[in-house]
Each structure stands twice: as structure tokens, then as C-alpha cells.
A = this chain, B = another copy of it.
Amino acid sequence: MAGLLENKVQAQSLVDVVAERIEAAIISGQLEPGAKISEQGLAASLGVSRGPLREAIRRLEGRKLLERTPNVGVRVAKLSPKDLNEILQVREALECLACNLAATNMPDAEIAALKKLLDVHEKQKSVQENTGYYQETENLDFHYRLVNGSGNERLAHMLAGDLHYMLRVYRYKSGAKPGRAAEVLQEHRAIVAAIEARDPVAAENAMREHLRHARRYVEEQLAAEG
């Protein structure tokens, strides 16, 4: 195995481990928005004391994944419609930026891999047309790779950590409209094409259009549900 000795090791404290666990639980949906976190209970179930757990909670609090009301308790951050709107605005700006940057910074190899990924998606989608879940994880995977291709780590962290979380939470909203999957795929292809052409502005615009479509669709869903 190469590089077993030159990668620097870092002792990760209990706080790090616990924070990662909680974050994973939130992103994976195990902890739903608004769910209360009991310090005693969680500490016991994780096998740590309340001290490190509280510190981990504070860190996630700083990232706005958890909310604390004094003397009452901690809850997983719940997004009001206003929050949702605000985040979607920010997300659009950032993801367009990522797309713009990717057009100049993404290595050819990764672009090729991205195209290949879309081929895989196409086949899967043609098979199981209306299953929203798979579509959504693929969607996230696509966006994830794209953002990483931007070369801007901080941007990647912002989008992957704080904003995708909320997309994940509200993914069920964008369930299974027949035909939408094909549209998404086409829009993804347009984005990749612009990146491959090394055209930042076109890439940015393609992404913006994609996100606007997705957004309008989600809003229609929400309106339909009441």
C-alpha cells in the first residue's frame, strides 16, 4: 500500500468522532429536522460522557445544523419556508460559481469520469423510471463531483456540508414525476458539455437553468401538497 507512512496522522478526539457521527445521522436522515437530542440519552448510547458530546453539539451549532434553546434542549435545525427560500438562493449562487470554476479547473480525467457517470445514470433511469430515491442520490453524486472539480475546497465544504444537508432532507419532495428524470439527465449533459468546452459562462448558465427548473418543480410539488 502506497503512502502509508507519509500521510500525516492526527489524533481525533472524542469530540471529532461524535460530531461526525451526529452529522452523518442528520445527513442520512436518521435524525429528522426538529428531532430532539437528549444529552444524557445520546451520551449513553454513544458511550461517552456529556462533556465531549456537548462540545460536539456546539460545533454543529456553529454550522447551523443544530439549534439550542436555553435550558430546554437541542433540536435538529428545522427550516422554515423562509429559510428554505434563503438557502436555495445562496445555493444557486454558489453552485453556479462552482460550475464556472469547474469549467477552467476540472481535470480532463474527471470530466470524462463525469460523462461516464451520466451514462450509468441513463441506463439505470431507463430501467426504473419513477423511483425518486435513486435519482436523488445520483443527483447529489453528480453535484458533489462537480463542486469538487471546482478546486475550491471551502466552496465544496459549504455546499456539501451545510446546504446539501437540507437538500437531502427535502429530497422526498421531488419524488417521482415521470419525465422529469429525463429532463434532469439532459440538463446534466448540457452542463458537462459546457465544462468540457471550457466555457465558464455557458457552464454557469446551464447550471442556473438546471437549478431554476428544479426549484420551480419543487415549488409546484409543495403547492400541490398544500
Contact = CB atoms under 8 A, between A and B. Distances in A.
Copies of this chain, complex-wide, total 2
A90 interface: yes
Of A59, A71, A92, A153, which is in contact with the most chain B CB atoms at under 10 Å from its CB? A59
A83 interface: yes
Given A11-B71, A55-B55, A70-B10, A155 B60 contact: no
Contacts of A13: 70
Interface stretch (A28-36, A93-101, A115-123, A125-133): A93-101
Nearest to A16: B70
A186 interface: no
B154 A83 contact: yes
A41 interface: no
Contact of A154 (B63, B71, B86, B92): B86
Interface in A1-39: 10-13, 15-16
A43 to B, nearest CB: 15
Contacts of A101: 89
A54 interface: yes
A133 B184 CA distance: 50
A212 to B, nearest CB: 14
A58 interface: yes
Nearest to A69: B10
Interface string A75-109: 00000000100110110111011000100000000
A70 B11 contact: yes
A158 interface: yes
A92 B154 CA distance: 14
A221 interface: no
A63 to B, nearest CB: 4
In the A-B complex, the 9 residue pairs with the smallest Cβ-Cβ separation, listed nearest first, are: A62-B62, A58-B58, A59-B62, A93-B97, A86-B154, A62-B63, A58-B59, A55-B58, A11-B70
